[in-house]
Amino acid sequence: MQSSGTVLSVFTADDAANAHVLMARAYADGGGSVGPFDAWWSALSSDAEYDPKAMFAIREGGRLVGFVHCWSSGFIKDLVVAPEHQRQGLGRALVLRVFEYFTAAGREQVRLKVLRDNDKAIAFYRSLGMRNV
């Protein structure tokens, strides 16, 4: 994806601090929490399923506005898009990129977890062809 200053690319370690800020903003409304940056990044990047090639970023004008972080097992761990950039197709673009990545890697399915009462997320993932299991 690349249009009018919006670019989808591989996530890099340089994106980590801004990704942490986006996650903290996303969790501010409930549904989870994210600890201090150093602890969060250390835990993420040292996890046995960490695969930096399975992380993608969306930037607008060079600024990180969304990202997706997946485990090597084909599991979407986190998908975050800044609130002011939601409902513009950025989350969809990130997940479709994840599908492409894991299909090319030979994975037959991509999994994730969503809180049962998160109707917005459930509808979003269903619109991408995912289903409850």
The reply to whether 103 falls in a domain is yes
Please give the Cα distance from 127 to 71 (Å, whole number): 22
The reply to whether 44 falls in a domain is yes
The reply to whether 133 falls in a domain is no
Greatest extent of the chain over all pairs of C-alpha atoms, in Å = 38
Question: How many structural domains is the chain composed of?
Answer: 1
**Interval 74-86: pLDDT, tens:** 999 999 999 899 9
pTM of the model: 0.89
Q: Given this model, what pLDDT does residue 72 score? A: 93
Tokens of 83: 């609130």
The reply to whether 109 falls in a domain is yes
CATH of the domain at 41: 3.40.630.30
The reply to whether 132 falls in a domain is no
User: Do 98 and 56 meet the contact criterion of CB atoms below 8 Å apart?
Assistant: yes
Beta sheet of 6-10, edge-to-edge order: 2-3, 6-10, 50-60, 63-71, 75-81, 111-112
What Å distances lie between residue 117 and 18, 54, 111, 113, 125, CA to CA?
28, 27, 18, 12, 14
Q: What residues make up the domain containing 102?
A: 2-127
Average pLDDT rounded to a whole number, residues 13-34: 86
Amino acid at 106: G
DSSP 3-state assignment of 5?
coil
Average pLDDT rounded to a whole number, residues 107-130: 88
The reply to whether 111 falls in a domain is yes
